[in-house]
């Protein structure tokens, strides 16, 4: 045999050189398992999709419904290039991502950016700082999120384990809606005539309505499991307008995370999940094959006065069959169905949401603001706006439906608020006199006042950097009490208290939980009640807070916080990227 071209030593040196070169390539993680950059491309295009024997051309990301999963690890940088190939303006929100000093990537149209116009593109650029768990992305303009949505999964850093046993498998389960109609036409018609909008035709699990709807037997989500295993289910409510009760027949679920924050585990047979909320649960399968299939069912929790989609979406939990005729055998098995609460079971809803507690341990502390610099009391609910002259309106008593915070129905500007603020051009775009309490106090959950007309404006609250903030969100019974899932962009907050009736500062504050309150980005304001949240304003930028019922968002139940820069360089908002869309 001839001699090798390299000695062992020379080969080793060459190998080391090759490895060192690799370390300079973007997105290549070596043995140190440090953060990497992850690249995604979203092509917004029309796609024909069929559900309930109805085919429609609808907006999709990369032709998929629901859209693709974004996966990252805690600390990773994520770059998502969105290319708009359709006639609609689009923008995207990465729901629950803190966006620390990256407010230009937050996404709500006319708040942090102008929308991406036809033929244009924009690269969303953010880093997953101090977060791990399940979130989701969705369009944030008009009602386009009806079809433009998908999961975000943030895994823990390498060599950091879950605070629970490693599951056998992880499955994202995202709840949405199917509309036979074009949702843009639905909301445009409602805003024109002032009435409540038409409702969806079905709820969906991972885009599939399930067997309880006509012409939908084949469009059913199936969760196939093995006996004696633990599955991590990443549950996301991406529906437009409905809280959902959820249950898997004859199976108990262990709740271990809410809105990408670990919680003290608790067992439940029925979950409530509001639009904008995510909940991770552990499903422990039965130790032996039960020789049955089990329905996974979700239907709305609804407390309002209007119409709603009173249907049930369902999937099927199937145990792995060992015999060769597994598919035929599975169909002949009995199907066990769960029991769900009454549609308007507010007592169950309040009891369930009250079970959530932060881990509040050394590794995952609950950094609750104990002292409060600024307190706010916000009423949230419905109202009316006058019918324009020479027009007939179909809202209450010939008016138009409206919604408001402290009786101000937020009017979207035609320029982006963050840009206007950053460049000091706020005149004519927004005013800074949003009231910290209602201008006209009344019995919020009792008999409504005679005048239920809302005022309109583009008003914001300005906060100095690192202010500790407390906000009490009070539901009102104007046009009926109703639950409201309130979402705050750019922040997590601690839910320090909740109750029914009118908030009483003296009595209710004394009962606040300042030890281990749950940390969330979306909270349900109880129907006919209140909820209190606290957070540190430690993220400079313009941050949207709004009801995650899309109809209430369209009617004006929204406002904006502007958080000023701090003194240090790492406390300031950087300038906008060069490709930020223009209005």
pLDDT at position 23 over 50: no
pLDDT single digits (tens) 126-157: 999 999 999 999 999 999 999 999 999 999 99
- pTM for this one? 0.94
pLDDT at position 393, please?
A: 97
pLDDT single digits (tens) 459-494: 999 999 999 999 999 999 999 999 999 999 999 999
Q: 454 φ, ψ to 5°?
A: -90, 160
Q: 13 φ, ψ to 5°?
A: -65, -45
The mean pLDDT value for 367-372 works out to 98
pLDDT single digits (tens) 339-365: 999 999 999 999 999 999 999 999 999
Could you tell me if 302 and 242 are in contact, meaning their C-beta atoms sit under 8 angstroms apart?
yes
Average pLDDT of every residue of the chain: 93
What is the rounded CA–CA span in Å between residue 238 and residue 140?
12
pLDDT category, 15, cuts 50, 70, 90?
very low
Exposed e or buried b per residue across 553-569, where buried means at least 16 C-beta atoms within 10 angstroms of its C-beta: bbbbbbbbbbbbebeee
Name 480's Cβ contacts closer than 8 Å, sequence gap at least 6.
303, 304, 305, 382
pLDDT at position 13 over 50: no
Name 188's Cβ contacts closer than 8 Å, sequence gap at least 6.
none
pLDDT category, 323, cuts 50, 70, 90?
low
pLDDT single digits (tens) 522-550: 999 999 999 999 999 999 999 999 999 99
The mean pLDDT value for 162-175 works out to 98
pLDDT at position 32, please?
A: 57
The mean pLDDT value for 276-291 works out to 98
pLDDT category, 28, cuts 50, 70, 90?
very low
What is the rounded CA–CA span in Å between residue 332 and residue 576?
59
pLDDT category, 306, cuts 50, 70, 90?
confident
pLDDT at position 433 over 60: yes
What is the rounded CA–CA span in Å between residue 151 and residue 172?
7
pLDDT single digits (tens) 78-118: 999 999 999 999 999 999 999 999 999 999 999 999 999 99
**Could you give the angle at the alpha carbon of 132 between the alpha carbons of 129 and 136, nearest 5°?**
95
For 373-413, give the secondary structure using H, E and C. Answer: CEEEEEEEEEEEECCCCCCCCCCHHHCEEEEEECCEEECCC
């Amino acid at each position: 045999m001839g001699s090798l071209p390299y000695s062992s030593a020379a080969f080793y040196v060459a190998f080391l050189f090759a490895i060192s070169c690799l370390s300079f390539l973007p997105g290549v993680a070596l043995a140190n398992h440090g953060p990497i950059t992850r690249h995604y491309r979203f092509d917004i295009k029309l796609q024909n999709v069929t559900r309930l024997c109805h085919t429609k051309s609808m907006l999709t990301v990369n032709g998929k419904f629901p859209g693709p999963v974004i996966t990252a690890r805690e600390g990773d940088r994520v770059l998502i290039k969105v290319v708009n190939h359709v006639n609609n303006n689009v923008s995207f929100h990465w729901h629950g991502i803190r966006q620390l000093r990256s407010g230009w990537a937050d996404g709500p149209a006319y708040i942090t950016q102008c929308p991406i116009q036809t033929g244009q593109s924009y690269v969303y650029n953010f880093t997953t700082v101090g977060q791990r768990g399940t979130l989701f992305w969705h369009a944030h303009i008009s009602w386009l999120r009806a079809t433009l949505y998908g999961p975000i999964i943030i895994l823990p850093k390498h060599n950091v384990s879950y605070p629970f046993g490693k599951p056998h498998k992880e499955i994202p389960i995202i709840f949405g809606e199917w509309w036979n109609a074009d949702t843009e036409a639905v909301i445009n018609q409602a805003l024109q005539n002032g009435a409540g909008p038409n409702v969806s035709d079905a709820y969906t699990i991972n885009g599939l309505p399930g067997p309880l709807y006509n012409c939908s037997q084949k469009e059913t989500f199936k969760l196939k499991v093995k006996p004696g295993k633990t599955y991590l289910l990443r549950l996301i409510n991406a529906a437009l307008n409905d809280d959902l009760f959820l249950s898997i027949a004859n199976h108990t679920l262990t709740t271990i995370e809410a809105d990408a924050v670990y919680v003290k585990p608790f067992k439940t047979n029925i979950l409530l999940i509001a639009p904008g909320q995510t909940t991770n649960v552990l499903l422990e399968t039965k130790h032996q094959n039960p020789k049955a299939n089990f329905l996974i069912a979700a239907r709305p929790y609804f407390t309002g006065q209007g119409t709603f989609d009173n249907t049930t979406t369902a999937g099927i939990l199937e145990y792995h069959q060992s015999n060769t005729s597994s598919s035929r055998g599975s169909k002949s098995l009995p199907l066990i169905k769960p029991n769900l609460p009454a549609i308007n079971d507010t007592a169950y809803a309040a009891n369930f949401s009250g079970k959530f507690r932060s881990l509040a341990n050394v590794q995952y502390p609950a950094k609750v603001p104990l002292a409060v610099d600024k307190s706010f009391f916000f009423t949230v609910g419905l109202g009316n706006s006058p019918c324009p002259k020479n027009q007939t309106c179909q809202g209450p008593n010939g008016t138009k439906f409206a919604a408001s915070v402290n009786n101000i129905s937020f009017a979207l500007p035609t320029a982006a608020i963050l840009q206007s603020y950053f460049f000091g051009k706020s005149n004519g775009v927004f005013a800074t006199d949003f009231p910290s309490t209602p201008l006209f106090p009344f019995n919020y959950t009792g008999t409504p006042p005679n005048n239920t007309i809302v005022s309109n404006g583009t008003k914001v609250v300005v906060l100095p950097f690192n202010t500790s903030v407390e906000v009490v969100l009070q539901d009102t019974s104007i046009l009926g009490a109703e639950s409201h899932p309130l979402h705050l962009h750019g922040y997590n907050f601690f839910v320090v208290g909740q109750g029914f009736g009118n908030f009483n500062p003296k009595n209710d504050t004394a009962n606040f939980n300042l030890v281990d309150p749950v940390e969330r980005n979306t909270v349900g304001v109880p129907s006919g009640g209140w909820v209190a949240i606290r957070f540190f304003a430690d993220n400079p930028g313009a941050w949207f807070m709004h009801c995650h019922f899309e109809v209430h968002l369209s009617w004006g139940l929204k406002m904006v916080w502007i958080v000023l820069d701090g003194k240090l360089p790492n406390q300031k908002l950087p300038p906008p990227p060069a490709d930020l869309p223009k209005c």
